[in-house]
Structure 1
Amino acid sequence: MSVKKNSGSRPGLKALRPSGKTEESIFDLIYEIARQIPKGRVTSYGAIAKAIGSGKSARMVGWAMSNAGRVKPKIPAHRVVNSTGLLSGKHAFKTPTQMQELLEKEGVKIKNDKVVDFKTRFWDPLAELI
């Protein structure tokens, strides 16, 4: 996988791009980004999709996260939420409350299945990745 400058409308930002076109390499790239989400922070499916240069592929990121439990090294899939901070992927965990429990262990407050301080906890891969 290679790092290339984003040639879109955001000069100066860089996005990771897959070196191949296969689903497997795209999932690997998604996992590579997800592993970089800091503890106590969250990002969205759409933000990861934009970081891989495929802004309309948030659903594909969701599919990747639903399979993340089988991937080594470990993926912190609990840190990936929807664009409003909702724990929309909680069904993919061993129990319905595991995603919330993992986030709360890291200091993230959850109320009604939603990250309370989503804007301050949000980690933007495009702003952070080289």
Structure 2
Amino acid sequence: MKKTLIAAAVMAASGVAFAASNITLYGDVDTSAVLTHDGGASDSKNVIDMQSGFLNGSRWGIKGVEELGNGYAVGFILENGFNSDDGTNGQKYSGGFSRETKLYINGGFGQIGFGRLGSLANGAQSNSILSG
């Protein structure tokens, strides 16, 4: 008990601070019901089916940023696609977080980052000039 109090007092006196980073879990489920009607014959069938990724594709991700001070910040984005109808990986790459994986630093100079990034005009990832 005394050792714990002493350690806490030493840390408080030395100015050690513990801060939580800004971490966000996010996602988007893109699924639809598709009605298929085959012809107008007397034996025609109407089929209603669930379709995954009808518009943009389902995805989930984790992103975070930590302020370093003096206008600098470091952050990351980990994003993966999935099929909403069966939960399987919705990307053509089989690795985890295959939609976007990015580590970056922001400052007065702009942003420098690396990882698995899309093109500037694909409209899906964070560095797209089409969606901001």
Whether TM exceeds 0.5 here: the answer is: no
Interval of TM-score (by shorter of Structure 1 and Structure 2): under 0.3
Q: Which has the larger radius of gyration?
A: 2
Higher strand share: 2
Give the TM-score normalised by structure 2. Answer: 0.23
Give the TM-score normalised by structure 1. Answer: 0.23
Higher helix share: 1
- Which protein has greater RCO, CA pairs closer than 8 Å, 6+ apart? 1
